[in-house]
Every structure is written in C-alpha cells, then in structure tokens.
A and B are shown apart, each in its own frame.
Chain A
Amino acid sequence: MAGGNGHEHTKWVMVIDLDKCNGCNACVTACAMENNVAFTGEEENAYGRGMHWLRVIRYWEGEWPNVRVRYMPMMCQQCSNAPCEPVCPVFATLHSEAEELNIQVYNRCIGTRYCANNCPYIARTFNWFDYEWPEPLNFHLNPDVTVRRRGIMEKCTFCIQRINQGEEQAAAEGREVRDGEIQPACAQACPTEAIVFGNWQDPNSKVRQLAQSQRGFKYLHELGTEPKVIYLASEKHDF
C-alpha cells in the first residue's frame, strides 16, 4: 500500500554466502525464538517430528584426519513456482501476489500434509501435538506470530511479521523501505553476516549485488521451482 511508493512490486530475496557460514546455528535459534517454533524434544525428534523452520545441513568431506565439513542453512525457498501450493485442497498455502511470497494461513490449514510431501526442500514442519511452553518459557513467545495448534503445517515465512511492520513503518513516515531495514531473525542473528536479505527490485540493494557473484546458485533449481534464496557456493572445498 503506502501511497504509491511502489512496494506492491517488492520481491524479497535472501542471499546466503556458504563461505561465511560456520554452522554456528545462531540462525536456527533466532528463528525458533522469533517465530514461536515449538521445542519437541529429543524423543519426538527421533521420530522425525522435530520442528525447525530453518536447519543447517552438514556435508562431511574427506577421510580422517583430513575431514572438512561444509554447512548449508536450509529453509523454505519461497519458490515462485512452488510445488506445495497447487496440492493444498483448502488454499492454506498460497502465493501472495502483493509480497511475492509463499504464505501459510494457519487458521485455514486442515493438516492434510500434502504440501510437506511435495516440498523438495523438506522445509515444512507439522504440529503433531499441542506443544506447551511451561512457565517461564511462555514469556518468550512473540506476540506478532500466531502460536500454532496441533494439526497445522508451518514453515519459514521470511519473517512476514517483520516485513509487514517495516513496510508499515516506512509508509507512516512517507518513504520507501531502506535497504537492510527489514531483516529476518536469521539474518539479524548471523554473526558472520552470511545471510543477507533485501528487495530484488531495488537495483542498488545488497542482495542484488551479491547475487551477481559467479558463485551464486539456486538449490535444486533444475526442478523449475524458481527459489528466492540464492546460495553463494563455498570456495574452500578443495583442501
């Protein structure tokens, strides 16, 4: 909205520099805290019911003692051509035309889990139970994000609540959103600034410049999903 400052045409993009990622998992923690992601515990995790909107994949390379590990943060890639969207029978996961994001409407979701089964990135997690936040843990719950109930699918939203608030703030001050003003929790927490978030439509934005790197690639792009997360390949893999 915002009186024609053109943000109906924003396209949010994330660039992740795998050279800078040291696998510290700060992004995972920040994401869980920001988005009220439930802690399922060790046992549930072993059953494959762990809940993470963002996880760090490890790739081990080489033979002992010359072992090297590479990390790759993986979350919903906000595909332009998302495989999860057409399979939802109730349109609970759908494409936002305004933000060009893949959004999840929790109160519409009936928990068929078709979307998760169709996601090549395994980015979606399902609430198998009503998870509790015993006191004093309930104080960390973010009031800007719904606390999901049992039977509801959820996934990374690119911190849509922060995007909305940033845009609202900019609109109230009668200006456009500045580059770097809106940051998802993972990008904010990243100590090496490996995760950068911004508007693709702004030619001067940091993401636009980083994405021009020759190291840039999109994960599983051969599937034609057109992800909005661009990885910059690691250069240190020959050791």
Chain B
Amino acid sequence: MGTPRSQWKKAVLTVVALVALGGLVLGATWLYASQQVPPQPLEFNHQVHVQQLGLSCLFCHSNAARGKSAGLPTTNRCMGCHVQLEPKTEAEKILREYFEKEEPIPWVPVAIQPDFVYFSHQPHVSKGIACETCHGEVGQYTIAPDLSKKQNMGWCLSCHKNLAPEHFTRLSSCETCHK
C-alpha cells in the first residue's frame, strides 16, 4: 500500500518500462532482419565447390577477368557438370527444374555497390588482387554473406592509398570510383 502519489509514479514507471522494452524488441528484430542474407532461389554451397572440389572463382564468375561485373554463372555453366549427376539435394533438383524450363536462375547479388560508385573487376583482377581480399573466404561459406555494409569508401581507400604509391594521384582521385 502506498500513497496515491507513489501509485501514480509506479504506473508511469511501468508504462515507460513497457514502451522501452517494446522498442528494444522491435529494434532487435529490425537489426536481426537487416543482417540476414537475402533468400536465394536455391541454396548454393560455395564450400563444396571451392574447398572440396577445388574450383577456381573464375570458372563460374568468369566475367571478373574481362569486365565490370563478375557475373553469375548461367544455368548451362552449372549443368556442364551437373548434367552427369543424379540430383539428390533440394538445390540440385531446383537447378534441374530451371534447366528444363530453360530459364536463368534469378540469383540475388550480395555484393552490390551504390548507384554513385563505379567499380570494375577487370583492373583489380588483372593486377593480381585475389578475390578473397575483398570478398572474404567465400570458399568456407555455405551461404554467401551480405558484404554491402563492410565495403565502404574507407575500406576501398585502405588499399588505394597504400598499394601503389606511384599511382596515388590516379587511385585517390574522386572520378576514378565515383561516376
């Protein structure tokens, strides 16, 4: 039992605590959802292809050596090997479905740069920079992680400032990476 005043105080405190708790739960849910990798049409496993089978990155992402975008493999590229394999897992069955429908797999890219950034794979690959330098140890992942928050401008400049001091003017100039 308390005075009416202390009861009033208690009620206000409870409401404040409930609102704070609700906000916290909402915030945590949002944070969790924003950190989730986007759902892919099929669960491609990099670990099996890179670590166990020893495929090179460029075998599937072959455009990285030639152009701006590394590109995603066509269904035909996948089926080059998978045509000889009996589909066992769910992913393999989905792959075969796309192949038989003659449709491309609608992959969701996870390493996307903002609209105002110009990036081309070709100069980086031709200078011998390993894919893992920017993309992490993809060969160890079962699901490709979302890199868009890690790949910011300071992170790009950490190499651009140090790797080739003789080309510093060019490598640190705005128009090299902003379009």
Nearest B residue to A157, CB-CB? B175
Q: How long is the Cα–Cα vector from A94 to B173 in the complex, in angstroms?
A: 10
**Which residues of chain B from 125 to 176 have a CB within 8 Å of any chain A CB?**
126, 164, 167, 169-171, 173-176
Contact of B171 among A1, A106, A147, A157 (CB under 8 A): A1
Q: Which of B118, B126, B170 contacts A144 (CB 8 A)?
A: B118
Determine whether the beta carbon of A98 is less than 8 Å from that of B170. Answer: yes
Given contacts A8-B170, A146-B116, A168-B123, contact A98 B176 (CB under 8 A): yes
Interface size class of A (residues with CB under 8 A): 20 to 34
* A96 neighbours in B (Cβ, 8 Å): 173-175
Q: How far is the CA of A105 from the CA of B174 in the complex (A)?
A: 7
Given A106-B178, A146-B115, A97–B122 Cβ distance below 8 Å?
Answer: no
* Contact status A164-B123, CB under 8 Å: no
- State in angstroms the CA–CA spacing of A191 and B24 once bound together: 64
The answer to whether the Cβ of B88 comes within 8 Å of any Cβ in the partner chain is no
Decide: B179 and A168 in contact? CB cutoff 8 A. Answer: no
Known: A98-B173, A103-B174. A160 touches B167 (CB 8 A): no
Q: Do residues A1 and B118 form an inter-chain contact, with CB atoms below 8 A?
A: no
Cβ of A171 within 8 Å of any chain B Cβ, yes or no, is yes
Interface residues of B (CB under 8 A from A): 114-116, 118, 120, 122-123, 126, 164, 167, 169-171, 173-176, 178-179
- A window 90-126: CB within 8 A of B: 94, 96-99, 101, 103, 105-107
* B170 touching A107, Cβ below 8 Å: no
Q: Which A171-203 residues have a C-beta within 8 angstroms of B?
A: 171-172
**A161 part of interface (Cβ distance < 8 Å):** yes
The chain A residue with its CB closest to the CB of B65 is A172
Cβ–Cβ < 8 Å partners of A157 in chain B: 175
- Give the CA-CA distance A126 to B80 in the complex, in Å: 52
In the docked arrangement, what's the CA distance between A98 and B175, Å? 9
A-B residue pairs, 6 tightest by C-beta: A98-B173, A98-B170, A146-B116, A103-B175, A107-B116, A105-B174
- Find out whether the CB atom of A105 lies under 8 angstroms from the CB atom of B178: yes
A172 touches B170 (CB 8 A): no
Q: Look across to chain A and name the residue whose beta carbon is closest to the beta carbon of B153.
A: A107
Complex-state Cα separation, A8 to B164, whole angstroms: 14
